[in-house]
Amino acid sequence: MKARVYVMLKTGVLDPQGEAVRHALGALGFDGVQGVRQGKVIELDLAATDKSAAEVEVKEMCEKLLANTVIESYQIELS
């Protein structure tokens, strides 16, 4: 089973990398970009075959390591 975890900064948390990308896009002539939020995608290959057990396991991974839950939120996608 595969899991994809999307990690983004929570709303209200400053995103200096996103702002740098927005500024660079403006410098390249893409003036219509008003905001950029940058995050990360983590892909996991899991041995689990039970979807609900895999979701519980991936959530635990996120809470312990993959996301800083103080300033980041995450979404899990299983396939």
Domain boundaries, the chain: 2-78
Stretch (H or E) spanning 8:
strand 2-9
pLDDT of residue 48: 93
Is domain 2-78 given the CATH code 3.50.50.60 in the classification? no
pLDDT of residue 52: 96
State the alpha helices, DSSP H only, in 1-79. Answer: 16-27, 51-61
Nearest to 77 by CA among 28, 47, 30, 42: 42
pLDDT mean values, one per 10 residues, the chain (79 residues): 98 96 97 96 96 97 98 98
Q: Report helix, strand or coil for 42.
A: strand
pLDDT of residue 30: 97
